[in-house]
């Protein structure tokens, strides 16, 4: 299956038309990505004082799958603190012209219409498969899985890597089943 690209300024379409993601001028125009789709976001760097952010490169995230799993399925005896484990398989690719970093641990939150944003990252599944948390040179990519702890099936995951404002760099719409 070829991933669909979504434009951050348009509502997500059904996976039938191929849409190109336009680079956003700020993180507030974050792409909303569904399973089978891709979205591109800006990776910012700052000066040595953590000031003067500027776009260094762009990273593309493709959501390959989102599967709700039990502790037994991921070989753990730990129960999810928020209510439900989800195994999120993504591909991260540097589509820019300079190195860029992706680090999901501590940067992913989950929310839905009834629940405010909650930390979703876990240490479950660490060490299995390729690690998407790394620095990518232009053209490099990695496909790997994250085990996240969400409140319920459905809802939205947010990746908060922006140093520009409080808005997420991108969001992922989880399936309801």
pLDDT at 153: 96
pLDDT at 163: 63
pLDDT under 70 in the chain at which residues? Answer: 1-29, 127, 161-166
SS (H, E, C) the chain: CCCEECCCCCCCCCCCCCCCCCCCCCHHHCCEECCCEEEEEEEEECCCCCCCCEEEEEEEEEEEEEEEECCHHHCCCCCCCCCEEEEEEEEEEECCCCCEEECCCCCEEEECCCCCCEECECCCCCCCCCCCCEEECCCCEEEEEEEEEECCCCCEEEECCCCCCCCCCEEEECCCC
Mean pLDDT of the chain: 84
Number of domains in the chain: 1
pLDDT at 126: 72
Q: Give the range of the structural domain holding residue 155, as residue numbers without chain letter.
A: 4-173
pLDDT at 18: 41
pLDDT at 68: 97
pLDDT at 30: 75
User: The whole model's pTM is what?
Assistant: 0.80
* CATH number of 104's domain: 2.60.40.1240
22-63 pLDDT, tens digit per residue, is 443 443 467 899 999 999 999 988 889 888 888 899 999 999
């Amino acid at each position: 299956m070829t991933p669909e690209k979504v434009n951050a300024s348009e509502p997500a379409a059904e996976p039938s038309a191929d849409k190109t993601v336009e680079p956003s001028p700020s993180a507030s125009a974050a792409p909303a990505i569904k399973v089978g789709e891709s979205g591109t976001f800006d990776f910012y760097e700052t000066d040595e004082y953590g000031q003067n952010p500027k776009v260094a490169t762009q990273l593309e995230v493709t959501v390959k799958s989102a599967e709700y799993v039990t502790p037994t399925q991921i070989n753990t005896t730990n129960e999810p603190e928020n209510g439900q484990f989800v195994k999120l398989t993504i591909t991260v690719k540097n589509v820019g012209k300079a190195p860029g970093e992706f680090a999901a641990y501590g940067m992913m939150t989950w929310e839905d219409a009834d629940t405010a944003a909650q930390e979703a990252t876990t240490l479950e599944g660490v060490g299995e498969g390729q690690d998407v948390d790394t620095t990518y040179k232009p053209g490099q990519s990695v496909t790997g899985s994250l085990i996240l702890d969400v409140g319920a099936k459905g809802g939205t995951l947010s990746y908060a890597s922006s140093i520009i404002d409080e808005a997420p760099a991108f969001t992922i719409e989880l399936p309801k089943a």
